[in-house]
Every structure is written in C-alpha cells, then in structure tokens.
C-alpha cells in the first residue's frame, strides 16, 4: 500500500517512520531543502541533486525536497498532510478525495477518545490520566503531538487499526487544533491553560481562543474553574465541567502541577474510576522526562525542566519565589518571540544568568535582549552540556535556588540525567 506524506516537519517525519514500521511504501515530500532526515532512522539511502531539488531513495521510501510530485501524491492509496499544511490548497483538495489516512484507517474513530490541549501541562496530564486508567484495568492508547515527545498523530491511526484498546488519549498541540478536530472523534476535551505561545502562528491570544472555540464545539469540556475563558466556552457547548487543583500529596513541584493533577482526577472521576485508584496513582506519579524536576544537591535546590514559553516560565518562577541563578537554553533563530522568557527571568532578579545552547549555538539574540532589558547581573555563556554541568555543580555548593529551563528539551533531559546520577 502506497502512502504519501506532505510536509516533513516534526509530525511529518514521525509519520514517515511509523508508516515504514508498519510496512507501507512511503513517499515523503517538502518544498524546503533544509530538512534533517537523520531522525527518520534510514540506514542506507541514495541521495541525488537535480535542478535545485534533492531526491533521497531507500528501500520502501522516496523523499523529494524542493518539489512536490502531485501526480504521485494523488495516485497514492493514502495521504498524510502535515498539520502545518492543513489550510493549504492541496490539503483542501485531498480532504475531498477520501484518501487522508484518518479517513481510510477508521478504527481509531470508534474508540472512546479524550483530547488534552492547552499551552502547558498537556504531556504531564496525559501521562497522569494514562496511569490512572491502566491501574483501573483499561487498555489505553496514548499519543498525539510529536513535539510533546509522543510518536505523532499518524502513529495513533496505525496502532488503533492494528491493536486492541478501550480508550485513546490524544495530546493536541494548540497549533494542530483544526487538524486534530478533523482527524479524531473526541468524546471529551480537557484544557490545561491558555498562555502566550506560538503567537507567530496564531497571531494573537484572541485568534488562539477562536481556534479553541471551534475545537470545543459540540464537545464535553473540562476547564479550570478559575479560567475566565470558561464563560466563552459555555457559549459553544452546554457540557462544560469545572476542575480544581488537586489536594492530594503529589511528588511534583508547583501549583501548576496541582492543576494538571486536578484535571486528570476530574476526568477519571467522570469515567467512574474508583477514587482510591486515582489517589494512589497520583500520589505515586513521578515527573516525566524533560518536565520540571526538583533536584537537591548540597544545600541548593535545582528546578530543572523544559519551559519553552513565557507562561510556563512564569508559573515555575512564581512558585520558586526567590531566584538566585538562572540557566536558560537558547531558542531557534527564527523564534525570537521565545526571548520573552528572558524578560520573565530578569523580573526575578537572579545574580547570574547562564545561557546554554538549547536549540541554537548562537547567543547573539539572547545577549541583545538581555542588554535591552538593562540586566545588571553577570551573564555567562556555556557551549556544551559538560560545561553547563560544571557551572551547575559549582553554584550548587552554596545555598542557592537554581532554575534551569528555556528551550532545548534534549539538552535539558541530558542535564537532568547527569544531575540525578
């Protein structure tokens, strides 16, 4: 069976990998030449350059960069359109063809399906709810947003088609709401929060909220009782349920994680899961890889986790209250909006800010932003994980509150592992 994948960003590449694992013949295409295919995991391939295009061929896979072979796409048995291309003209055409993967593979639409969306806390909430449901005896399929660490949306279609489950949990990134709404039949939705992220895509918070309202239409929605957006949600659907921060004794730090626990608990109770199971599961739940962990070294507290937007950063620093040292991972060069993280950090007045190469080896944009903020403390640049660890251990000899966050999940995960050793 032949499948085409349009768009080879994070979701597209994950889809290619999943489809190959299930034995499909795959054609992947992207108009950009600047695509790193190494994470697809192709062992052997031939690479050709023709007329400003790159053609990559291996067993069961052909990739075109710089060109779309429309004829080949339309003749495929199935097509996966990357969420970032969901509003393109070719996507509109393919929706009418009944060839989209989510329209050909249909078993996932017969599962009871829960979406967890919002700016921050999605992965933690999905993981909490998954553990509760498994402990209650359910067969749970979990995945979705590839950027959240899952294997991507396409993997859910494939697993549901080939394996047996009772419930599906889908992490839905705020940039993929329309794609997910078309691709799945959601029975209920949990909203973690609404923050200032991906504004380069949404344009504004108002536009983001409009996307959420479209997504919420005719669905059962769980929203934080104190979220002002709840009033607008009630204008779209009558089935709006409130949740509160959990009062259980969590092993996770921060009020924001109490809200994540409250959302997971509320949905589980709605599904008639025994509260003893919910309580035992949440009180034993451990921080997941890359998300916030509190590590104590000597007399210092080290708060470390991915905080790739200002909303997540502010939530953590607000709970830390007194900040002595901050380590911040750099953003991609094209994502200058993420420099707002530095604005937030400077407001807490750390004596030192250490910039490490999270997603870019360039520190220029971060240095320029710190200069514009008139930051008076010391700025240190760290070019490697090893160098960053030396700085952390040096500062940890003192009675400091140390925050390590920003961008670069892989680097942050590596730092967590080295510090926990």
pLDDT tens, residue by residue, 14-42: 999 999 999 999 999 999 998 988 889 88
pLDDT tens, residue by residue, 129-162: 999 999 999 999 999 987 777 889 999 999 999 9
Q: Report the distance separating Cα 362 and Cα 174, nearest Å.
A: 28
- Which DSSP string corresponds to 32-44? -S----GGG--SS
pLDDT tens, residue by residue, 375-412: 999 999 999 999 999 999 999 999 999 999 999 989 99
- Give the other-Cβ count within 10 Å of 412's Cβ: 28
pLDDT tens, residue by residue, 227-269: 989 999 998 988 999 999 999 999 999 999 999 999 999 999 9
Residue 416 is predicted with a pLDDT of 96
User: What are the distances in angstroms from CA 102 to CA 91, 185, 411?
Assistant: 13, 11, 34
Name the token pair of 193.
């929060």
Residue 212 is predicted with a pLDDT of 94
φ/ψ of residue 67, rounded to 5: -155, 150
pLDDT tens, residue by residue, 286-308: 988 888 999 999 999 999 999 98
Residue ranges and CATH numbers for the domains of the chain are 2-102 (3.40.50.720), 105-283 (3.40.1190.10), 293-420 (3.90.190.20)
């Amino acid at each position: 069976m032949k499948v085409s994948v349009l768009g080879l960003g994070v979701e597209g590449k994950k889809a290619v990998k999943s489809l190959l694992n299930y034995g499909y013949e795959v054609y992947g295409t992207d108009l950009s030449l600047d695509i790193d295919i190494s994470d697809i995991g192709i062992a052997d391939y031939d690479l050709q350059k023709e007329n400003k295009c790159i053609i990559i061929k291996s067993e069961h896979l052909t990739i075109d960069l710089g060109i779309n072979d429309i004829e080949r796409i339309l003749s495929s048995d199935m097509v996966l359109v990357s969420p970032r291309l969901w509003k393109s003209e070719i996507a509109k055409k393919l929706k009418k063809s009944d060839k989209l993967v989510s329209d050909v593979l249909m078993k996932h639409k017969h599962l009871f399906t829960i979406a967890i969306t919002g700016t921050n806390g999605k992965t933690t909430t999905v993981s909490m709810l998954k553990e509760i449901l498994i402990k209650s005896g359910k067969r749970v399929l979990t995945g979705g947003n590839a950027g959240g660490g899952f294997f991507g949306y396409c993997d859910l279609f494939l697993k549901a088609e080939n394996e047996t489950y009772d419930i599906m949990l889908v992490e839905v990134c705020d940039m993929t709401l329309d794609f997910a709404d078309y691709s799945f039949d959601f029975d209920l939705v949990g909203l973690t929060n609404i923050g200032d992220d991906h504004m380069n895509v949404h344009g504004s918070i108002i536009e983001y909220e409009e996307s959420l309202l479209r997504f919420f239409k005719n669905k059962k929605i769980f929203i934080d009782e104190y979220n002002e957006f709840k009033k607008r949600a009630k204008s779209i659907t009558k089935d709006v349920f409130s949740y509160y921060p959990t009062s259980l004794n969590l092993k996770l730090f921060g009020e924001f994680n109490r809200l994540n626990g409250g959302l997971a608990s509320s949905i589980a109770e709605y599904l008639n899961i025994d509260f003893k199971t919910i309580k035992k599961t949440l009180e034993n739940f451990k921080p997941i890889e890359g998300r916030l962990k509190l590590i104590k070294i000597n007399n210092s507290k080290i708060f470390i986790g991915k905080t790739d937007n200002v909303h997540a950063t502010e939530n953590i620093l607000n709970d830390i209250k007194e900040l002595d040292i901050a380590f911040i991972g750099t953003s991609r060069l094209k994502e200058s909006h993420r420099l707002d993280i530095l604005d937030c950090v400077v407001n807490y007045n750390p004596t030192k800010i250490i910039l490490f190469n999270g997603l870019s080896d360039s520190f220029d944009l971060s240095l320029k932003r710190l200069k514009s903020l008139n930051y008076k403390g010391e700025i240190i640049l760290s070019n490697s994980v090893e160098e960053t660890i030396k700085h952390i251990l040096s500062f940890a000899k003192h009675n400091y509150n140390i925050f390590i966050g920003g961008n670069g999940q892989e680097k942050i995960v590596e730092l967590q592992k080295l510090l926990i050793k």
